[in-house]
Structure 1
């Protein structure tokens, strides 16, 4: 009944978490990818690494938001619209309110 499905998880070794992968396997394995056809997919993720890890000048060499190619492929496979991910890198406890506000703003778009 919802138009947007939000996947919220921490980044785990430059990928989705094993539990998120298990959930997708179970959900799409039992009912198929048509479950969310026509809906939007929004990935929201956090990472402890900051600019020294992500971005053109970071060790990884790509932006954190671009790590989730497998989620985009899953969205495409399921007939979903993949939205630009909302990611927070170099996270800190002192910025939690900023993260909350950014999430609220993004969800209201």
Structure 2
């Protein structure tokens, strides 16, 4: 299975958690890493190029820090510009049909903070529903998210374990992730 990880971190050099996750994947020849903030420092997204990249991969992973209960702004802009009517959804918009999508996110909060009664009131999966619906509206298969909690307090050992768990998660087959 051909997999592309679209990383969207506005300050990747300062993120120990996201750097560890990406470092774990760098040695995988079957995983293409695509850093949006590096690719588009001026935020002028090449829509045709991005659409062609999407067509080449079976599984697309969106990796980003959980940013005000959503994704960073460049990734939101990417969704708005790349996933267009007539290409990704709507009449003749079936280019992403059969593609598998995973959200991989890091958060500074603990898992207990992201639950009913926790300080954030909702689970991360509940807060990711707009992204989930965007991808299913585009005829994609939305797979369970990978969430790495407590990134602000993580030790090097913790990040190493999370990176291995991440690699395993995004390489797991549809039949195992979906059941």
Cα distance in 1 between the residues matched to 2:155 and 2:79: 29
1:22 deviates by 0.7
Q: Find the partner of 2:142 among 58, 82, 91.
A: 82
2:84 is matched with which residue?
Answer: 29
Cα distance in 1 between the residues matched to 2:168 and 2:121: 28
Give the count of matched residue pairs. 109
- Whether 1:102 aligns to 2:157 is no
Kindly name which structure, 1 or 2, has the bigger radius of gyration based on alpha carbons. Answer: 2
Point out where structure 2 has 5 or more consecutive residues left out of the alignment.
1-55, 89-93, 173-179
1:30 deviates by 8.0
Q: Matched residue of 2:95: which SS?
A: helix
Q: Matched residue of 1:29: which SS?
A: coil
TM-score between the two structures when normalised by the length of structure 1: 0.88
Q: Find the partner of 1:71 among 118, 131, 150.
A: 131
Q: Matched residue of 1:101: which SS?
A: helix
Cα distance in 1 between the residues matched to 2:136 and 2:171: 23
Dislocated runs of 4+, deviation >6 Å: none
1:53 touches 1:60 (CA, 8 Å); kept in 2? yes
2:72 is matched with which residue?
Answer: 17
Cα distance in 1 between the residues matched to 2:117 and 2:111: 8
Cα distance in 2 between the residues matched to 1:41 and 1:76: 9
1:31 deviates by 6.9
1:40 is matched with which residue?
Answer: 100
Q: Matched residue of 1:14: which SS?
A: coil
Q: 1:52-96: CA deviations, max 9, x gaps? A: 521123112221222111111111110001101000111124311
Point out where structure 1 has 5 or more consecutive residues left out of the alignment.
none
